[in-house]
Amino acid sequence: MENEITRMPSIGEKAPSFEAVTTQGKIKFPEDYKGKWSILFSHPADFTPVCTSEFMTFGSMAQEFEDLNCQLVGLSIDGLYSHIAWLRTIKEKIEYKGMKNVEIMFPLIEDISMNVANTYGMVQPGESTTQAVRAVFFVDPKGIIRTILYYPLSLGRNFQEIKRIVIGLQTADNFGVALPADWQPGDDVIVPTAGSCGTAKDRMEDKTGEMTCYDWFFCTKKLSKEAVESKLGK
Ligand code: BEZ
């Protein structure tokens, strides 16, 4: 429809449902991923350098995401045969930063109609009207969007940060905590405020020795890397 304005999905909302053709057959998203975490991400175009470096990186890390019970789903506004040819070129011809023979086993959606890209706010006209930006939607096992990243065409994503986000979301859910700036597994975590853990005075005078309080609203506690790792993928 002309001039139709599609609202972009937001954190905390159900991921909009769609069916699509991919390099691994048809999928229904997010329904096919119920009970798993998933990452729906877009790239601007096949056969472009930044995207190739990203796919080689993501493809090389696929098992690490599998171990987190997290499935990857790519998308661009290219056709299926372009996707297939590009992925074959990556596997057969490109060696980059020690990565070679990288086989992309996760589905890559063809979206020539731009239906999915428009629904997810992946086409951002200030950047391009014909290519998707580098969007990343983190969807939980119930199909709820939990984090969204958007990067411009010229900047490749940080895949260690993408993995840290999945680990962080799973840790926050499993332990009922929040995570401070630059948190990594093994670092102290933030104890929730708002009555869940005694009064502000109790917290400041914690006798258990488990908490460190910097002020009444800012208390942390230890959470071991082993404890975090025991819950990952759950
Ligand atoms: C790239 O992936 O290299 C790229 C794609 C679209 C615009 C600019 C760069």
pLDDT digits (tens, 9 = 90+) for 75-134: 999 999 999 999 999 999 999 999 999 999 999 999 999 999 999 999 999 999 999 999
Q: Can you give the pLDDT at residue 209? A: 73
**Residue 13 resides in a domain:** no
CA of 133 to the centre of ligand 1 (A): 9
What is the tens place of the pLDDT at every residue in 183-225? 999 999 999 876 555 556 656 666 667 899 999 999 999 999 9
Tell me the two tokens of residue 3: 């001039």
pLDDT of 148 above 50: yes
- From the CB of 48, is ligand 1 less than 6 Å away? yes
Active site residues: 51
CATH number where 137 lies: 3.40.30.10
* Domain identity same for 131 and 198: no
Task: Return d(Cα 211, Cα 175) in angstroms, integer.
Answer: 15
CA of 194 to the centre of ligand 1 (A): 45
* Domain identity same for 24 and 137: yes
CA of 85 to the centre of ligand 1 (A): 17
pTM beyond cutoff 0.85: yes
CA of 154 to the centre of ligand 1 (A): 6
What is the tens place of the pLDDT at every residue in 7-55? 899 999 999 999 999 999 999 999 999 999 999 999 999 999 999 999 9
* Domain identity same for 83 and 140: yes
Q: Can you give the pLDDT at residue 3? A: 47
Tell me the two tokens of residue 172: 């926050």
* Domain identity same for 132 and 186: no
Q: Which among 50, 58, 82, 96 is the best mutation to test ligand 1's pocket, defined by most ligand atoms within 8 Å of the CB? A: 50
16 and 8 Cβ atoms separated by less than 8 Å: no
- From the CB of 77, is ligand 1 less than 6 Å away? no
- From the CB of 50, is ligand 1 less than 6 Å away? yes
Cα 160 to Cα 24, 117, 139, 163: the distances in Å are 25, 24, 18, 5
Strands 145-151 and 134-139, sheet pairing: antiparallel
Q: Can you give the pLDDT at residue 234? A: 77
- From the CB of 197, is ligand 1 less than 6 Å away? no
The pLDDT of 52-81, averaged and rounded, is: 98
pLDDT of 1 above 50: no
Write the DSSP assignment of 110-152 as a string of letters: E-TT-HHHHHTT---TTT-SSS--EEEEEE-TTSBEEEEEEE-
Query: Atom 7 (ligand 1): residue with closest C-alpha?
Result: 153
Tell me the two tokens of residue 14: 């159900």
Q: Can you give the pLDDT at residue 193? A: 77
Identify the CA nearest to 20 among candidates 85, 82, 96, 73.
73
Task: Return d(Cα 23, Cα 79) in angstroms, integer.
Answer: 10
* Domain identity same for 28 and 84: yes
* Domain identity same for 182 and 152: no
**Residue 144 resides in a domain:** yes
Look up the domain containing 132 and give its range. 18-165
Identify the CA nearest to 159 among candidates 66, 57, 87, 68.
57
* Domain identity same for 155 and 204: no
Q: Can you give the pLDDT at residue 210? A: 85
